[in-house]
Structure formats: structure tokens, C-alpha cells
Structure 1
């Protein structure tokens, strides 16, 4: 069974990015779903020198390495990806083994604004480039005015968003199956 890792750039329990990831997992299909915890210390070279890689960071790096595919959803904070997501990427870059290399990754965003996080996704793509992850080019999932896009059960109510997300997750599943077969 494939392993799908969900990474939310929002820590809030009721986050719309978490809801979007749960919808992504549902549309991905049968899989072992792992959920990353980004409650990590702020990256600090002195901390790393004194104590090494913190256990929660190594857990995240191991989850990335073990996953067949990764879905990342980020809010847009000040026209950029969230600080907790950037911090996690910075920490994982310090671990051994290049866990992102060649990893199929789908990115998406849910934001209160109308643009749906386009700038956050662009910055996330740039942050993932040095890791040589296989970031899918689209379709872009930019869920704007997110408070109006989910029902009480956390399901997307806009059929266009659901159709595009279904296509993205189908592509992610196909690419991860090809990677596993190679």
C-alpha cells in the first residue's frame, strides 16, 4: 500500500489547509496516510551544533524519506509560505540522506484572500528546488476565500476545486507508482 505524507503549513487544528489535505488524501485513494507535525524548534545553528538534529526533525525527515508521495498545503502569510513550513524545510535540509530527492510532491494552498495562495505556492516551489523533489506542475490548487469552500464535515463544496484536486492527486498517485516501479 502506498504511503502518502500530508504536510500542513498551518499549525491551527481547524486549519483550512489541513481540511484541504484531508480532501487530497481522500481523493488520492487507498493509502497509508501519515501526517507531519511541524511543531519544531526554530532553526538555530548553535542548537544544532550543541545537540544535533532534534528528534521531531529527524522524525519528519524519516517520514519524507519513507513516503511514496507527499502533499503540502500552505497558507499565505505576507505574500509568502508560512514560517513554520519554511522552518521545517530548513531543518530537514540539515538531515542526512536527502529525503526529498526525487520525491513526488503535490502542492496546494487555502487562504482567506481571493488569489488562494498563488504567491505562497511560488515561494514553496522555489524552496523545494534545491532538494530536487519532483514537484508536480499542476493543476494548481488555489482555494481562495477558504472559509466559504468547505462544509461542516470538512468537504470541499466547490466542484471545480474538487475536480482539480482529484486530477492533481491522481497525477501524484501515478507519478509515485512510476517512481516505485523504477
Structure 2
């Protein structure tokens, strides 16, 4: 059974991307085990001086969780037309480990925004970062959940719009097939 880890790119308690990440768990196809990966909020800001003193326990614990999955779904907002700083920081820490917990893993991206573009600009920047980590990215179909306030229930972590729910479930089925083709 393929284990797909879900990383939420926001640290905000009531984040729209958090609601979409929780909804993804219930939309996974048969044969896939969704794994909600822990928040990266406890990781220190990457600093070589900290690493030189020994890898922090929080980084090692986060890396173990990521290493235990077969693929990763990134569900993230767009901050200032780019990758949220906390998410980039988590990837920066993971990149310093050997074996590298992201290397060779399939990845997909969902961007989530209350705006009309649905966080579309985060895709390019995040893909560049993930390519640098040796991840195999399923680039199409892209998922941008625009107008997310009208499509997601933040309290329940569900998709409230039928068309959006069907599209996301279809995307996850395609991603599961993409992952299976790489094992």
C-alpha cells in the first residue's frame, strides 16, 4: 500500500490549506494510506551554526516522519507570490540529512487561496525547490483551489463544493497511479 504523506504549508490554526490537507485524507483512493505529516512549526530557522552543534531533535523527528512515506502531497498557500517561509525552512533542514528523506519521492502540489488565482504562483517556486531535492513531481494536472473560502469548511476540514471534491479526488487517483509507476 502506497503511503502518501501530506504536508500543510501553513502554520495557521484555521488555514484554508490546512482544511484542504485534512480533506485530502478522506479523498484518497483505495490502495493508498494517507499520512498527515507533523507540523514543521517547531523547527528552528535553518542556521549552519545550529547544524554544526548537532542536528536538532525536532529536525530528526520530522525527517523520520517524512522518510516513512512513499510520496508527498504539498498543500500550501502562496505567500508573496512564492513558497511560505516555514515550508521552505523545513525543506532546507531536510536537505541537510543523509540519507535524504525527500530524494526520489513522487510529489504533487495543491495551492489554496481565497483569491481568484488560487495560489497559482507558488507552484513554480515550490517545483524548483522540490527538483533540487531530487523529488519526482507530477506537474499536471495542476491544482489551484481558488475562492477557497466558498469551497472548504475550515472547522470540519471538508470540501463543500461537489465539483471541487470530485476534481481533488480525481487528482489523488492520478497521483496514486503516478506513484505506482515509480515503485
For normalisation by structure 2, the TM-score amounts to 0.89
Q: Where do 4+ consecutive residues of structure 1 move more than 4 Å?
A: none
Structure 1 unaligned residues grouped into runs of 5+? none
1:30-56 Cα distance to aligned partner (Å, 9 max, x none)? 515232221111001111112x22122
5 Å-filtered alignment, 1:8-157, equals 8-29=8-29, 30-39=32-41, 40-50=43-53, 52-151=54-153, 153-157=156-160
> Matched residue of 1:106: which SS?
strand
Number of aligned positions between the proteins: 179
Q: Aligned-pair RMSD on alpha carbons?
A: 1.7
If asked which structure has higher relative contact order (CA below 8 Å, sep 6+), I would say 2
Structure 2 unaligned residues grouped into runs of 5+? none
Q: Identify the residue that residue 162 of structure 2 maps to in structure 1.
A: 159
Deviation at 1:130, TM superposition (A): 1.1
For normalisation by structure 1, the TM-score amounts to 0.90
Deviation at 1:105, TM superposition (A): 1.1
Deviation at 1:66, TM superposition (A): 1.6
Structure with the largest fraction of helix = 1
Structure with the largest fraction of strand = 2
